[in-house]
With several copies, the nearest count.
Chain A
Amino acid sequence: MADADRKDTPEQAEFRTYCQDWLAHNHPGKPPVRIPLGALELSDPKALTWLQAWQKSAFDAGLVGCDYPVEFGGGGRKNCQTIANQEMQRAKTPFFPNIIGLGMAAPTVLFHAQDSVKSDLLPRLFSGEDIWCQGFSEPGAGSDLANQQTFAERRGDSWVINGHKVWTSLAHFASWMILLCRTDKSDKYNGLSYFVVPIQTAIGKGVTVRPLIKMTGETGFNEVIFEDLVVEDRYRLDAVGAGWKVAMTTLSHERGAGELVTPAAGGMTQEDTKGANTGSPSALIELAKNSYRNGKTAADDPLIRDEIVKMMIRQEAFRQNQRRALVPQLIDHPMRIPLQNKLIGTEFNQDLAEIAYAIEGPASSLYLNDDNAPGGGEWQLAYMNSFGVTIAAGANEVQRNILAERVLGMPKSK
């Protein structure tokens, strides 16, 4: 992205300087506990609390929600979130813990909720005081998202919700959930409605959260069971039956194809987070220079070198794609690049982590609980976790359908 941040508008330039100054004096410093690779891997409450404090300080300083209206807790600026994001990256800050809130809930609430709900919920969402989770996936509704069975039944001025959600990351920490569910069994797509529902305050009163354990041994995502949860009608987003349309707002922002840029910090290095730095080819080079395959330095193996370079090319191409996506005269279809991002990003991380096995040789057998594990065993953790994302939010097979159908105009596969 390094290139795209040149030639700012006056407002952007002024704001950039402000961010730089603020970050110079308000970087949270090193965390007291190990911070995982991303918010979805959060399982240690201490890590969460520390990250929430960081998000709040950034929000108070105006670096979160910059482009949102002032009346809903935003900064009221124009195209400035991207500036804040760039500077936070450059300052190597920690990430924000409320990733689902910022990336999916906020834009959906902004575009589809009534104003009183916006002003009630968005400020604490931006500050990270409220963590949000996403109630989309169900046992029978994975890639086939519209196959929702969770049912909301109207009772006067409120709704009674029953059903079963799975793979809900962060539910064990969440105050609120964005919920897609069914209000009409007779119509697959037009029978869906969209709500924001309380979780923490409703536990034991219609909401049960059960942790699921990943193949990595980590917790982090959950089953959420609704039994007669009562929700006020004001928490419905958009019309009854418009749930699918609202969900598209959520998903387009998740795919980085939405109108609003998601507030995103990050860039903190491995040493600083006491955790992994497994997201980049340069980390792989580092690993290769310090690992042995069959007694020889892995970084000298021509096949390993070629694998790493392939990843560096993909990384640079991804950056330059994002840069090009902002130049109208250089893109023929507005969704062509944005709709690629989820696919490319998740497969990039999977392929990157897989190369670490070849680099580490027999030491690739070692895990986080072994002091001799190269890179602390984080590469193996990252490889296994990478499947969480190639599967989730519309498996990548579905992403390819979407690209073929929406961008290339090929016939629907279903």
Chain B
Amino acid sequence: MIEQPKNFGFGEDETMLRDSAAKFFSDHCTPDKIHRQVANNSNIHRNIECIWDKTLWQQITDLGWTAACVPEAAGGIGMPLVAAVALAEEAGRAAFPSPLISTFNATFVLRECQTANANAALAEIASGTPMTLAITNQRGSWEPSDTDVLVDNGQLSGTAWFVQDARKAEGLIVSARSAAGVGLYYVAANAAGVLMTADGIIDLTRDQAHISFSGVNAIEVAAPGQGEIALAHALPAIQVVLAADMVGAGEWLLQTTVEYTNTRIQFDRPLGFFQAVKHPLVNVMLDIDRAKSLAYSAACAIDSDPERKDWATTLKLAHMAKANASDMAVFASSRAVQFHGGIGFTWECYVHLFFKRQMHNQMLFGDAKYHRALLADMLIGKAV
């Protein structure tokens, strides 16, 4: 049993960072502003765009968000994971269109590599270069060992799928297989031989692409053959940050729906009077609180156990956080649209921004069923 702080590690710095993020979003990134920005064209068959506000990105870089979880040795601030969790929660609450989460994920992977090349990439992140992971194959496998990209003396060939915020990222962290096993490589997004094909996705606050590599020169960032283990060590942090994003978005959906049902009058009463509205919204709240507490505890477990002495607990809490948050995200989104009635079904109502982000979040890096199946093997033992 590893010692953990009662407050999950939310000290003054982390709390201050969270509050400043909340203020930042309410100042610069309100739902109406985002809606005008990313939802100005509702045509399903519009060209696949990648819309985001680079000036906001510059500002959050200046605020040190990208540097927050970069180790000091690599030019970062070296804050604990809970700092990223706090930022992700606020980003989710604002449905923030940016490569922040993807850059965090790249950070978590690079932190595990412990090489000069990895530290160089981390330094870039600290100074504001958006990066993302290209580690998923066409069959949507989240296993670190699965990649469709091959590496042959330093050159990458093959295709990586479901790359998040791909067209916002300037650097890619690619997993590729060689005789030595799965390695991790840094590639500039604009390097020769990199062909990015944008995906037509539903989530308006992200972009996604599949990326084919043909003989692309790459810098190996993990020790040879150590890429798979580095990915495995980073996955819990990735899952937890996604859970935090869902918690923030879920809270927005809950509060917005409560406000609407408190004011919308039907049958001479506010909708919120009716238990058919009220009780499901209470259930949404219960789900959010579970997901939140699990996300914080998982992040705290990671922060408290750098040597992975009690890795099983970390894995367990991270799977639980992602599983719970994913189910919550689906439920909270569905109830928000339902209880907003006709207006919630329209494009002009902001609910759909969060609905679509949540449906994207819930599957990313594994949906609830996936994580529960892994938990079953851990906690019950493999079925014979």
Contacts and interface: CB of A to CB of B under 8 A. Distances in A.
A413 B337 CA distance: 22
A397 B277 contact: yes
B339 to A, nearest CB: 9
A312 B345 contact: no
A372 B334 CA distance: 26
A340 B289 contact: yes
A406 to B, nearest CB: 11
B137 interface: yes
A281 to B, nearest CB: 8
B294 A317 contact: yes
B4 A215 contact: no
A295 interface: yes
Contact of B200 (A369, A392, A407): A369
Nearest to A387: B337
Contacts of B201: 365-367, 370
A401 interface: yes
Interface stretch (B25-33, B37-45, B214-222, B228-236): B37-45
Given A6-B6, A302-B383, A357-B359, A365 B137 contact: no
A358 interface: yes
B367 A361 contact: yes
A370 B279 CA distance: 38
A305 B380 contact: yes
A362 B140 contact: yes
Interface stretch (A50-58, A67-75, A135-143, A237-245): A135-143
Interface stretch (B57-65, B120-128, B266-274): B266-274
Nearest to A313: B320
A400 interface: yes
B162 interface: yes
A45 interface: no
Interface in A246-300: 285, 288, 292-297, 299-300
A372 B262 contact: no
Contact of A294 (B8, B323, B346, B370): B370
Interface string A305-317: 1101110111011
A137 B273 CA distance: 21
Nearest to B278: A404
Interface in B1-60: 1, 3-8, 10, 15, 42-46, 48
Contacts of B258: 408-410
Contacts of B46: 369
Contact of A316 (B4, B6, B320): B320
A213 B274 contact: no
Interface string A199-243: 000000000000011111110000000000000000000000000
A295 B375 contact: no
A411 B272 contact: yes
A25 interface: no
A100 B132 CA distance: 49
Contact of A388 (B200, B272, B345, B372): B345
A324 B296 contact: yes
Interface string B290-332: 1111101100100000000000000011001001100000100
Contact of A309 (B43, B200, B292, B372): B372
A370 B200 contact: yes
Contact of B266 (A143, A317, A318): A143
A248 to B, nearest CB: 17
Nearest to B4: A3
Contact of A218 (B1, B44, B369): B44
Contacts of A350: 334
User: For the side of the interface on B, what is the size category?
Assistant: 35 or more
User: For the side of the interface on A, what is the size category?
Assistant: 35 or more
A11 interface: no
Interface stretch (A102-110, A172-180, A329-337): A329-337
A89 interface: no
A362 B286 contact: no
B348 A327 contact: no
B359 A364 contact: yes
A320 interface: yes
A344 B363 contact: no
A367 B45 CA distance: 10
B108 to A, nearest CB: 19
A401 B278 CA distance: 7
B293 A400 contact: no
A292 B276 CA distance: 37
Contacts of B267: 143-144, 414
- The CB with the most chain B CB atoms within 10 A, among A7, A217, A310, is that of A217
- The CB with the most chain A CB atoms within 10 A, among B140, B261, B290, B292, is that of B140
A166 B355 contact: no
Contacts of A403: 282, 285
Given A2-B1, A324-B8, A316 B141 contact: no
Contacts of B138: 292
Contacts of B286: 340, 343-344
A294 B5 contact: no
Nearest to B16: A329
Contacts of A327: 6-8, 10
B268 to A, nearest CB: 8
A259 B337 CA distance: 34
A33 interface: no
A294 B369 CA distance: 11
A358 B367 contact: yes
A217 B275 contact: no
A169 B74 CA distance: 58
Nearest to B355: A215
Given A215-B346, A354-B330, A317 B320 contact: yes
Contacts of A323: 6, 8, 293, 297
A392 B342 contact: yes
A310 to B, nearest CB: 7
Interface in A112-150: 137, 140, 142-144, 147
A294 B365 CA distance: 9
Nearest to A297: B384
A91 interface: no
B346 A213 contact: yes
Interface string B230-271: 000000000000000000000000100010011001111110
A214 B281 CA distance: 24
Contacts of B352: 215, 384
Given A354-B330, A411-B269, A326 B379 contact: no
Contacts of B162: 362-363, 365
17 contacts: A7-B5, A140-B265, A142-B266, A215-B344, A215-B349, A285-B380, A297-B384, A306-B373, A312-B320, A316-B297, A316-B320, A317-B293, A343-B286, A363-B162, A370-B48, A401-B276, A404-B282
